[in-house]
A and B are shown apart, each in its own frame.
Chain A
């Protein structure tokens, strides 16, 4: 075999591998979309392209349970989680990233340690806390409890970011007698746009996807977030799951996420790796 044919075969094999990777990662979601468009008994035929696409499942999801309300709940919880954790993390990361003081390293590692906590390990204590605060079956219980997994990585990533900004930035402001609060809001905030967008998006996705706390701290169908609603969709009996509805609901809540991720893919990749590799 000549070198040239060898090269061509190698190239074809490589592209074949790429096709396999794309098929592997994309097919399951493609299949969910196809299934969601099959109404009635069409669903039970294996067809890789829906011959009679119909919206019935999408209509049924909203008719048979408060799914619209569930989506609003998820949006409220995710947005409030992002706002609260970013506000707390920006302040903390300024101190951790820019100011030398005793105990800084210990604090950083404590924060990192919290990210190792299994959620189940705080579940009973959190349940007690939520009830004591009168937040049981209230969306604010989720905003509060989600801080346990959003704060560690927002603080960590923003601290890394703050530390890398040049020293001169702040020196001029300090000489001018600016107070730390002014320094954070006027000097650093304008520069932090990209970092805030990345960490905010990661926090949003984490909150949007969370299941265990949402399952435990809410009771009524009206208060459920989307993951809980999708997990608990049930049919007449446990053997007759309405798969069409489940697929439709899955597509509805996933499409916005995928769009966000594709738009911000570069930022997400750098955010994920900044959190992990440098940590």
Chain B
């Protein structure tokens, strides 16, 4: 009797040993599988970021990166007193705040429309995806042509409707250049917003709506009291994604108005210093500041999100 028990125990022990050996093997192979991805990511993200931060403390020049010498915080000192940099910061924040706000409102509207049941819903969703699929550079050029002061279709339509008396130089005039950029960005990215919000809408429980319907509550009240609060988490994620994207905007602004001061964003400013003026040290300092702003924003958001979730 006794011997049988011990041998059974032995088997269990052996099994356990085998299992833990298997686990160890699996963990080892896990690292083996992740390694290539990590190496590439370190090569194209970690290392270049570290170098950029380092360049920010040097007088590196595009034609002579090797001869860069450490100059401490001189670049940052100059950056913080440069009105053009602050102009770029201001432009970026104005752009991000206005475009993301409009995109959220429009996206919410389109998402609600897409969530309703009607014939041709698939068609509408396809139509909404078109701006998203168009390359940013192409959108910038397309709208640049539509905004053309003499031959543009937008001035033509607005004049036809009697809304403006003489053509507006949309992209050239300092008053409207940033507005034009915002209009294009809203057009291009509202679909993304709408689709994210739609996904959130479709995950909402049906029961609340049914009971609200039974109680005869007005649809607008239902929207503000039920839909919006339930949708908040999905909405916040979408907004954060868009803000992070808007803060680093480059393509659209660069293609629509080049290095024009009226629309220059932080990324455009940094690239101009880096490439056009060949001042890698100074441009890297600007790029590092932008990186820091985005990092701080992300960390603050993640912490707030965590606190919110623990409640």
Contacts and interface: CB of A to CB of B under 8 A. Distances in A.
A93 to B, nearest CB: 9
B52 A123 contact: yes
Contacts of A126: 44, 48
Contact of B48 (A88, A125, A216, A262): A125
Given A88-B36, A155-B37, A120 B191 contact: no
Contacts of A17: 113
Interface in A87-110: 88-89, 91-92, 94-96, 99-101, 107
A26 B44 contact: no
B41 to A, nearest CB: 6
Contacts of A160: none
A145 B196 CA distance: 28
A119 B141 contact: no
Interface in A130-183: 131, 144-145, 147-148, 151, 155, 174, 179-180
B224 interface: no
A21 B41 contact: no
B156 interface: yes
Interface in A158-211: 174, 179-180, 184, 205, 208-209, 211
Given A25-B191, A144-B43, 19 more contacts: A28-B139, A31-B153, A92-B37, A99-B29, A120-B270, A123-B48, A124-B48, A124-B287, A126-B44, A151-B41, A180-B29, A180-B32, A211-B251, A211-B255, A230-B137, A231-B140, A231-B141, A269-B129, A272-B192
Interface of A: 14-15, 17-18, 21-22, 24-26, 28-29, 31-32, 35, 43-44, 46, 88-89, 91-92, 94-96, 99-101, 107, 111, 113-114, 116-129, 131, 144-145, 147-148, 151, 155, 174, 179-180, 184, 205, 208-209, 211-212, 216, 226-228, 230-231, 243, 246-247, 250, 253-254, 257-258, 260-262, 265, 268-269, 272-273, 276-277, 279
